[in-house]
A and B are shown apart, each in its own frame.
Chain A
Amino acid sequence: MLRTGVALVLGGVLAGAPEMAAAQAPLVAEGCIGCHGPGARGSGSVAGIAGRDAREIATALMAFRAGERTGTIMNRIAKGYTDAEIAAVAAYLAGLRR
């Protein structure tokens, strides 16, 4: 089931995410900024996530959401977001400068 979900999300990322999802990307991704640093370039113990491969980000978020990857708080966070939002955030972050 996870695999199907990832495939769907990645399909969205690679084909150019649905317009509504992409339109949300900047605001949804603002949620990341509070901990991951301005421009998502990292802050102290919290990793930079800017400029990473969109597939890598989406896969990680899907795994956190499915409880298949342990996190300090990301597992709790990922459960609040939809496939479309994960795709949009991944696409947006991938486009940022590292």
Chain B
Amino acid sequence: MSNALTRRTLLAAAAAAPLAAPLPLRAQGSARLVVVGGGFGGASAASFARRAYPWLTVTLVEPLTRFVTCPYGNLVLGGERRMEQITHSYDGLRARGVTVVHDRAAAVDPAARTVRLAGGQTLAYDRLILAPGIALRWGGIEGYDETASARMPHAWVPGDGTQTRTLRRMLEEMPDGGVVGMAIPANPFRCPPGPYERISMIAHYLKRQKPRSKILALDAKEGFSKQPLFQEGWAALYGGMIEWVPASRDGKVVKVDPAAMVLETEFGTKHRVAVANVIPPQRAADIAAPFADASGWVQVDPTTFEARTAPGVHVVGDANNGAPMPKSGYVANSTAKQAVASAAALLRGERPPEPVYFNTCYSHVGEEYGISVVNIFRVGPQGIAEVPDSGGISPRGNLPDQRRLEALHADAWYSSITRDMFG
């Protein structure tokens, strides 16, 4: 009984409440949604657009023919996953009716509503979803450029997977007793808990294979995401293998020497390491740079995610300034759906939906040891804000059942969200 009522209510709702005296641009027929970037923001947007708004024609522009996820890349480093298990094809999106163009977007013209591709083609759009992710600030750490990243991999922009493979190979080749050095950036950056999950997964590998080795984590910050839970897990699982150094104890790496394998900190301490993982400061990727402010990120409307300087261009994922929301895969997925719903509503002359954004970030600390942070965000008078007294991190303490379940749920999350995006 309730099902029938539910459907009726939903159908009524689907007709939606129009703004006063709307002049729908496309009351009938289709509209063109172009999506630039095939990662967590872009693939989520393209997939959701086809599922929820079949009257939209969707074109996805992405240079790579296969997508390697950042999430679970740390498990590859720890030897718990293979690269193939975190690599996804765009065939599922094609099957959903998305036109996938493997080319690089070279420029956006918001006035003409076109995207020019590096291959010469120009795509016209009615609404654009721009989800290009991040660029690394080469030179943000002195001496750290693309050449240096071959010897000191960042493994923070997966690309075709080369960076993650390189770091994994270096860990495998390192003799027992070596020091793995990590440079971790200040906020904001992609995946706030990511460096600390990486520390955990590298320790997980070293503990089994090279137990005399150490991890020296040099951080440009004073604190980090899920810190008490990570540190509790490190103490329980890895003893003294991990040394985390905050900025106030000279943890900020300002210079690297790839030839000598040296990480140099703010006050001149030189750390010679066997393997170096340098995660440099970041900004919005190049295609979004014309819409970014001095911070390097794109300011957006908190409801529609349109760039403040370019109406009709919805910037989702890590390229925007979504603070206080983290630059996470789940936030990219959640905000991409809101952006698509807003674009669809605006195309029909309707009011964008009232947003509520959702985030869950799981981290693996060890085998059968998962932790998480949950956030729910709404838009208030001051912009995006977390709902008071909601969400939060996993409970602390010796809770093996909780940790084991969260590790399993993390795997479930990965399977679920990647099928939502690519399935």
Residues of A with Cβ closer than 8 Å to B?
A: 13-17, 19, 22-28, 30-31, 33-38, 43-46, 53-55, 72-73, 76-77, 79-81, 85, 91-92, 94-95
Contact B13 A23 (CB under 8 A): yes
Contact A46 B372 (CB under 8 A): no
Within 8 A of A (CB), among B378-398: 387, 389-392, 394
Contact A34 B333 (CB under 8 A): yes
A44-B415 contact given A28-B356, A72-B405, A73-B406, CB 8 Å threshold: yes
A72-B376 contact given A91-B6, A92-B6, CB 8 Å threshold: no
Min distance, Cβ B284 to any Cβ of chain A, angstroms: 24
Given the complex, which residues of A lie within 8 Å of B8, measured CB to CB?
16
What are 10 contact pairs spanning A and B, CB under 8 A?
A: A17-B6, A19-B17, A22-B13, A26-B52, A31-B334, A55-B2, A72-B402, A73-B409, A77-B374, A94-B3
Contact B358 A34 (CB under 8 A): yes
Contact with A along B1-34 (1 / 0, CB 8 A): 0110111111011001100000000000000000
A76-B391 contact given A23-B353, A45-B405, CB 8 Å threshold: yes
Given the complex, which residues of B lie within 8 Å of A35, measured CB to CB?
360, 409, 412-413, 416-417
| Docked complex Cα distance between A43 and B409 (Å) | 9
Given the complex, which residues of B lie within 8 Å of A43, measured CB to CB?
412-413, 415-416, 419
Q: Which label, helix, strand, loop or mixed, suits the secondary structure of the B interface?
A: helix
| Docked complex Cα distance between A95 and B1 (Å) | 10
Contact A34 B420 (CB under 8 A): yes
Given the complex, which residues of B lie within 8 Å of A85, measured CB to CB?
356
A80-B16 contact given A16-B9, A72-B406, A92-B6, CB 8 Å threshold: no
A91-B413 contact given A19-B9, A28-B356, A72-B402, CB 8 Å threshold: no
Query: What 7 new A-B contacts, CB under 8 Å, besides A43-B415, A76-B390, A91-B9?
Result: A23-B16, A30-B48, A34-B330, A35-B409, A38-B419, A55-B2, A72-B406
Given the complex, which residues of A lie within 8 Å of B415, measured CB to CB?
37, 43-44
Q: Which of B3, B392, B416 contacts A76 (CB 8 A)?
A: B392
Contact with A along B320-338 (1 / 0, CB 8 A): 0000000000100110011
Contact A77 B10 (CB under 8 A): no
Contact with A along B345-364 (1 / 0, CB 8 A): 00000000111101010000
Contact A44 B411 (CB under 8 A): yes
Contact A94 B48 (CB under 8 A): no
A16-B5 contact given A34-B413, A35-B416, A43-B415, CB 8 Å threshold: yes
Given the complex, which residues of B lie within 8 Å of A76, measured CB to CB?
374, 390-392
Q: Which of B2, B6, B416 contacts A33 (CB 8 A)?
A: B416
Contact B392 A38 (CB under 8 A): no
Q: Which of A13, A23, A38, A73 contacts B372 (CB 8 A)?
A: A73
Q: Which of A25, A33, A34, A79 contacts B389 (CB 8 A)?
A: A79
A25-B413 contact given A30-B337, A33-B420, CB 8 Å threshold: no
Contact A81 B333 (CB under 8 A): no
| Docked complex Cα distance between A13 and B420 (Å) | 27
Min distance, Cβ A79 to any Cβ of chain B, angstroms: 4
A45-B412 contact given A25-B13, A31-B356, A91-B10, CB 8 Å threshold: yes
Contact A54 B376 (CB under 8 A): no
Min distance, Cβ B308 to any Cβ of chain A, angstroms: 23
Contact A79 B409 (CB under 8 A): no
Given the complex, which residues of A lie within 8 Å of B333, measured CB to CB?
34
Q: Does B408 contact A (CB under 8 A)?
A: yes
Closest to B1 in A: A14
Closest to B355 in A: A27
Given the complex, which residues of B lie within 8 Å of A46, measured CB to CB?
409, 412-413, 416
Contact B337 A38 (CB under 8 A): no
Min distance, Cβ A58 to any Cβ of chain B, angstroms: 10
Given the complex, which residues of B lie within 8 Å of A14, measured CB to CB?
2, 5
Q: Does B341 contact A (CB under 8 A)?
A: yes
The 5 A-B pairs with the shortest beta carbon distances in the complex, nearest first, are A80-B376, A80-B390, A31-B358, A44-B412, A45-B408
Q: Which of A26, A30, A81 contacts B334 (CB 8 A)?
A: A30
Q: Which of B353, B374, B408 contacts A44 (CB 8 A)?
A: B408
Q: Which of B353, B394, B411 contacts A45 (CB 8 A)?
A: B411
